Amino acid sequence: MYRAPAAVRPRRAFCGRTPYAGRMIGDRDDQAVHPTRTAALFLRQFVQSPRTVGAVMPSSAALARAMLAPIDFASARTIVEFGPGTGAFTREISARLTPECRYLGIELNPEFVRKLAGGFPRLSFVHGSAADLAQMLAAQDIDSVDAIVCGLPWATLPISLQETVFAGIDRALVPGGVFVTFGYLQSLILPAAWALRRLLRRSFAEVGRSPVVWGNVPPAFAYICRKRM
Ligand SMILES: C[S@@+](CC[C@H](N)C(=O)[O-])C[C@H]1O[C@@H](n2cnc3c(N)ncnc32)[C@H](O)[C@@H]1O
């Protein structure tokens, strides 16, 4: 079994109690094993914090594949995920991660952090906001990031927070680095989606879109962005 080098394993990443602490049995595909439990947790958190969770159910594996397609996992040395939730994208990232690549997941919801830390014991998670990316990278001795996988609920985030997040992304990503996020097809015509597209075009040299993932509920697509070299 792959064991991450000490530098990759969580240091001050997660300090809460977890029922799974110490179970180094490789990443548990919890959503596959307990899809109903995972969906119920997600829905519960949505009911408690609809604006920060931003969706009633986790993304599909098909959307995760569309999100990760542009990332070169063979050469990546650091990957950051914003808003991993119950791990829909994390699971696919974990399956592709090389031993040389560090992963840091930044999640605002403490229940999700607890689940992630138990489900993916080889990966590092911090409880906090993507807006504090610079401080979180510094605390982990990470200078730069090759790719950022983002599950943030853009439609419900205040514009000032969105701008702070994009400023942090710009500082952290290496030249040519990849940023992927997703949008729901049904929301494309809403002002929040226009605002996001404007921010993406302002922040990146290239902004593209994956084909629509019709199997996701609701149908969604990935925005694929690249920082200028
Ligand atoms: C739409 S859900 C996506 C979850 C997961 N990536 C997926 O696709 O199933 C949004 C996630 O972003 C998290 N989130 C919201 N605001 C955040 C912030 N400022 N920083 C980090 N995570 C945040 C929520 O707690 C939630 O887990």
**Range of 116's domain?**
64-226
Share of the chain above pLDDT 90, in %: 84
- The b/e string for 38-77 (b: 16+ C-beta within 10 A; e otherwise) is beebbeebbeeeeebbbbebbbbbebbebbbebbeeeebe
- Is 54's C-beta closer than 6 angstroms to any atom of ligand 1? yes
112 Cα nearest atom in ligand 1: 27
Digit-coded pLDDT (tens) for 61-73: 999 999 999 999 9
Asked, for residue 18, whether it belongs to a domain, the answer is: no
Asked, for residue 17, whether it belongs to a domain, the answer is: no
pLDDT score of 29 more than 70: no
Asked, for residue 108, whether it belongs to a domain, the answer is: yes
Digit-coded pLDDT (tens) for 124-167: 999 999 999 999 999 999 999 999 999 999 999 999 999 999 99
Task: List the residue whose alpha carbon is closest to atom 18 of ligand 1.
Answer: 129
pLDDT score of 13 more than 70: no
| Ligand 1 center to 157 CA (angstroms) | 11
| Ligand 1 center to 128 CA (angstroms) | 11
pLDDT score of 188 more than 70: yes
Number of domains present in the structure of the chain: 1
161 Cα nearest atom in ligand 1: 19
pLDDT score of 35: 82
- Is 204's C-beta closer than 6 angstroms to any atom of ligand 1? no
pLDDT score of 7: 33
| Ligand 1 center to 2 CA (angstroms) | 28
| Ligand 1 center to 129 CA (angstroms) | 9
Angle between helices 88-96 and 61-68 (to 10 degrees): 50
- Is 129's C-beta closer than 6 angstroms to any atom of ligand 1? yes
Asked, for residue 158, whether it belongs to a domain, the answer is: yes
Asked, for residue 78, whether it belongs to a domain, the answer is: yes
17's CB contacts (< 8 A; 6+ apart) are 114
Asked, for residue 35, whether it belongs to a domain, the answer is: no
130 Cα nearest atom in ligand 1: 20
DSSP letters along 117-170, please?
A: HHH-TTSEEEES-GGGHHHHHHHTT---EEEEEE---GGGS-HHHHHHHHHHHH
> Which residue carries 């015509």 as its tokens?
189
Asked, for residue 15, whether it belongs to a domain, the answer is: no
Amino acid at 178: V
CATH code, domain with 154: 3.40.50.150
Asked, for residue 156, whether it belongs to a domain, the answer is: yes
